[in-house]
């Protein structure tokens, strides 16, 4: 088997013979198992996202701002739905990608430009913004973190992304990408 990383979590699906029900429900795969020549796709990102929500003390009344609309965003949206999230807002750099997420759960769209003015209890970065080599970039300015209680980031390199560093310095609850990676493994 193998692990699948961004940006291939959706693109790999046509090459697989079977999908686990969880992977099928979110339309993304991060793990492929070869069992006697049959390639089956799984999504353990959903499990990791559920664990991250538990770790930050997520409450279904929390207002969530999810950044991104790719494969890992699909898994996180699925986890939010499973946890009964009532207020989900999603911002993506290209709004056309948001349509794919409507199959998973209801949410409200926030324009990428307006995301910095949006107030949320939980901010989840499911983009590559802040990933090496652009490690000095944060998907949200520090001022946008003031009202939130927690930040979850999918970026694993660097070990502690800029958004996680900024949130930690502000005494916010953080769940960095390396922990998500550990949980999905």
Mean pLDDT of the chain: 94
pLDDT per position as a tens digit, 84-107 = 999 999 999 988 889 889 989 999
Give the per-residue pLDDT at 134.
86
Q: How confident is the model at residue 147 (pLDDT cuts 50, 70, 90)?
A: very high
**Residue 29 scores a pLDDT above 80:** yes
Ranges assigned E (strand) in the chain = 2-3, 18-19, 31-35, 38-42, 63-67, 87-91, 108-109, 122-125, 150-153, 173-175
**Pairwise CA distance, residues 99 & 84, whole Å:** 21
Q: d(Cα 97, Cα 108) in Å, to the nearest integer? A: 13
Q: Which residues are catalytic?
A: 9
pLDDT at 133 over 90: no
Give residue 78's pLDDT. 94
Q: What is the pTM of this model?
A: 0.92
pLDDT at 83: 96
Please tell me the predicted confidence (pLDDT) of residue 96.
84
SS3 165: helix
Location of structure tokens 């430009």: 113
Reported as a single tens digit per residue, the pLDDT across 30-77 is: 999 999 999 999 999 999 999 999 999 999 999 999 999 988 999 999
């Amino acid at each position: 088997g193998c692990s699948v990383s961004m940006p291939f979590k959706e693109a790999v699906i046509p090459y697989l013979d079977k999908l686990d029900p969880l992977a099928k429900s979110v339309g993304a795969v991060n793990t492929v198992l070869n069992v006697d020549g049959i390639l089956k796709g799984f999504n353990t990102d959903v499990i990791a996202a559920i664990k991250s929500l538990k770790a930050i003390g997520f409450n279904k009344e929390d207002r969530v701002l999810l950044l991104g609309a790719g494969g890992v965003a699909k898994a996180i949206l699925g986890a939010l739905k499973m946890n009964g999230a009532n207020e989900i807002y999603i911002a993506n750099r290209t709004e056309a990608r948001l349509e794919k997420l409507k199959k998973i759960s209801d949410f409200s769209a926030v324009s990428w430009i307006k995301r910095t003015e949006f107030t949320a209890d939980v901010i989840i970065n499911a983009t590559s913004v802040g990933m090496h080599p652009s490690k000095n970039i944060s998907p949200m300015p520090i001022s946008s973190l003031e009202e939130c209680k927690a930040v979850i980031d999918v970026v694993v390199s660097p070990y502690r992304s800029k958004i996680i560093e900024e949130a930690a310095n502000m005494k916010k609850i953080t769940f960095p990408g390396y922990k998500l990676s550990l949980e999905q493994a």
